[in-house]
């Protein structure tokens, strides 16, 4: 979005139009737009307002009721931190006793809003003009929240009263996501270098960050690295430095609905054991955090293979950090063998999970020529270096 469109959205006409617009999923946008234009509304304004209505609807999934009063860009919404996670970021700053946080990468202000909602003062930097204008609108209810149109890396050191820093560097380009933290904007190393002035520093990074790019944690300058999943999707890793670190190790925070559970530890290789009656699939946050070994130990399970992140156990495993499946059948993997095993069970629908084997489930599924009425879950993996298919059923629904 350009700054002119952002300004248009901030006019009283746009506000009035947005307020009287029914929910986007209850209108037929083209005919609704034509009606507004016939009633005399400017075409550009109508297009901008309709696209806001659409974005607001999409934003509810991430931002709940907050979305209703906000303005968005499509890219800004994609990059915004979901409210449940932003609220957790904000609590770290409050619990560490910080009072004025510089948000180096405001975006549309989701993280800044969560900080402000906890009563912290926020200086939110954004270098893109349209995004900064909308962030300013989104933060309008909080007197102690200020949006600054500037490059934070050139400015933040000179801002008075700041006692903590948060950054959520941009990780997307027109061609996709950046995994190398040197390519983030701003670069991770540049953000971490601010710790000499702001020891209370937190950075949201991509969950796929290579572990060798993580800053070293020392007793004097601890860094907690916490991977977060929400309802099964790994959404981020947070690097929490100095007083924001609860410990100097790794953590996997698994959020599911209203519940949250954290596994902490140091990455240690787990031991492999023979296949038992149950297979356990660790949550993605546990895998990304490198905590499969510690998880196995804590639930009395073994890895199915030293290099594969499935566990196996002789008894049912109940943990918020993994899903457990009962093994109904285990067979050396080939398409024809798997197909006949599934045919024998009358399986017509199959969920295919895989790890450590080069199979594309979408391509495999039609090759199985399934016809029955039953459904099944299949895990394709490597056990003791052999490609193996496990027909399984989830334990506990």
Q: Is 351 in contact with 296 (CB distance < 8 Å)?
A: no
Does 153 engage in binding with ligand SAM (CB under 6 A)?
yes
* Residue closer to ligand SAM, measured from CB, 139 or 286: 139
* Residue closer to ligand SAM, measured from CB, 233 or 393: 233
User: Minimum distance from CB of 321 to ligand SAM (Å)?
Assistant: 26
Any idea which residue has 């248009």 for tokens? Answer: 8
Does 238 engage in binding with ligand SAM (CB under 6 A)?
no
Q: Which two tokens stand for residue 47?
A: 């297009």
What DSSP character marks residue 199? Answer: S
Those residues whose C-beta lies under 8 Å from the C-beta of residue 120, and which sit 6 or more positions away, are 90, 93, 94, 98, 99, 100, 101, 144
Q: Which stretch binds ligand SAM (CB under 6 A): 14-22, 75-83, 234-242, 358-366?
A: 75-83
Q: Which residue is nearest to ligand SAM (CB)?
A: 107
* Residue closer to ligand SAM, measured from CB, 106 or 341: 106
* Residue closer to ligand SAM, measured from CB, 50 or 77: 77
| Site track for ligand SAM across 21-60, x = CB under 6 A | ----------------------------------------
Does 207 engage in binding with ligand SAM (CB under 6 A)?
no
User: Minimum distance from CB of 63 to ligand SAM (Å)?
Assistant: 9
* Residue closer to ligand SAM, measured from CB, 109 or 270: 109
* Residue closer to ligand SAM, measured from CB, 184 or 333: 184
d(CA 152, CA 146): 13
Does 2 engage in binding with ligand SAM (CB under 6 A)?
no
Q: Which two tokens stand for residue 298?
A: 């804590």
Those residues whose C-beta lies under 8 Å from the C-beta of residue 310, and which sit 6 or more positions away, are 279, 280, 281, 282, 303, 304, 355, 379, 381
d(CA 135, CA 148): 10
d(CA 383, CA 3): 56
Does 152 engage in binding with ligand SAM (CB under 6 A)?
yes
User: Minimum distance from CB of 149 to ligand SAM (Å)?
Assistant: 9
- Show the 3-state SS of 256-301: ECCEEEEEEECCCCCCECCCCCEEEEECHHHHHCCCHHHHHHHHCC
Q: Which stretch binds ligand SAM (CB under 6 A): 42-50, 74-82, 220-228, 389-397?
A: 74-82
What DSSP character marks residue 217? Answer: P
d(CA 353, CA 378): 6
d(CA 100, CA 122): 6
Q: Which stretch binds ligand SAM (CB under 6 A): 50-58, 145-153, 251-259, 329-337?
A: 145-153
Q: Is the dihedral of CA 57, 66, 207, 380 positive or negative?
A: negative
Which is nearest to 224 in space by CA: 210, 204, 244, 206? Answer: 244
* Residue closer to ligand SAM, measured from CB, 111 or 281: 111
* Residue closer to ligand SAM, measured from CB, 107 or 222: 107
Among 44, 151, 233, 393, binds ligand SAM (CB under 6 A): 151
Does 80 engage in binding with ligand SAM (CB under 6 A)?
yes
Residue numbers 104-143 binding ligand SAM by CB under 6 A:
104-105, 107-111, 125-128, 131
d(CA 286, CA 295): 8
User: Minimum distance from CB of 107 to ligand SAM (Å)?
Assistant: 3
Judged by CB under 6 A, how many residues of this single chain contact ligand SAM?
A: 22
Residue numbers 155-194 binding ligand SAM by CB under 6 A:
168, 170, 185-186
Q: Is 215 in contact with 239 (CB distance < 8 Å)?
A: yes
Q: Is 114 in contact with 136 (CB distance < 8 Å)?
A: no
User: Minimum distance from CB of 196 to ligand SAM (Å)?
Assistant: 18
What DSSP character marks residue 82? Answer: P
User: Minimum distance from CB of 127 to ligand SAM (Å)?
Assistant: 4
Q: Which stretch binds ligand SAM (CB under 6 A): 102-110, 258-266, 340-348, 374-382?
A: 102-110
Any idea which residue has 């939110």 for tokens? Answer: 124
Residues forming contacts to ligand SAM in the complex (CB under 6 A) are: 79-81, 104-105, 107-111, 125-128, 131, 151-153, 168, 170, 185-186
């Amino acid at each position: 979005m350009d700054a002119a469109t952002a300004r248009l959205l901030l006019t009283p006409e746009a506000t009035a139009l947005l307020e009287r617009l029914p929910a986007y999923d209850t209108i037929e946008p083209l005919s609704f737009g034509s009606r507004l234009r016939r009633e005399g509304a400017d075409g550009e304004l109508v297009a901008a307002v309709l696209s806001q209505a659409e974005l607001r609807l999409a934003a509810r999934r991430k931002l709940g009721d907050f979305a209703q009063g906000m303005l968005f860009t499509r890219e800004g919404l994609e990059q915004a931190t979901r409210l449940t996670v932003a609220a957790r970021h904000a609590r770290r700053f409050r619990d560490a006793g910080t009072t004025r946080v510089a948000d180096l990468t405001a975006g549309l202000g989701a993280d800044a809003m969560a900080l402000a909602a906890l009563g912290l003062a926020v200086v939110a930097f954004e270098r893109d003009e349209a995004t900064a204008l909308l962030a300013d609108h989104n933060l309008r209810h909080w007197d102690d929240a200020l949006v600054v149109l500037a490059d934070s890396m050139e400015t933040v050191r000179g801002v008075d009263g700041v006692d903590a820093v948060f950054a959520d560097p941009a990780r997307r380009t027109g061609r996709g996501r950046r995994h190398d933290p040197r390519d983030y904007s701003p670069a991770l190393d540049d953000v971490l270098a601010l710790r000499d002035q702001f020891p209370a520093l937190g950075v949201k990074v991509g969950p796929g960050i290579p572990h060798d790019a993580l800053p070293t944690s020392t007793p004097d300058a601890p860094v907690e690295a916490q991977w977060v999943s929400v309802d099964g999707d790994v959404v981020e890793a947070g690097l929490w430095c100095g007083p924001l670190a609860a410990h100097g190790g790794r953590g996997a925070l698994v959020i599911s609905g209203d519940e949250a559970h954290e596994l902490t530890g140091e990455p240690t290789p787990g031991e492999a054991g023979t296949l038992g009656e149950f297979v356990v699939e660790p949550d993605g946050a546990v895998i990304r955090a490198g905590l499969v070994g510690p998880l196995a130990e804590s639930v009395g399970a073994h890895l199915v293979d030293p290099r594969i992140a499935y566990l196996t156990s002789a008894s049912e495993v109940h943990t918020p950090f993994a899903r457990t499946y009962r093994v109904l059948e285990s067979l050396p993997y080939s398409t024809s063998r798997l197909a006949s095993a599934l045919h024998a069970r009358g399986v017509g629908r199959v969920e295919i999970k895989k790890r450590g084997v080069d199979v594309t489930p979408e391509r495999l599924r039609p090759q199985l020529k399934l016809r029955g009425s039953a459904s099944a879950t299949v895990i394709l993996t490597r056990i003791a270096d052999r490609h193996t298919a496990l027909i399984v059923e989830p334990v506990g629904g």
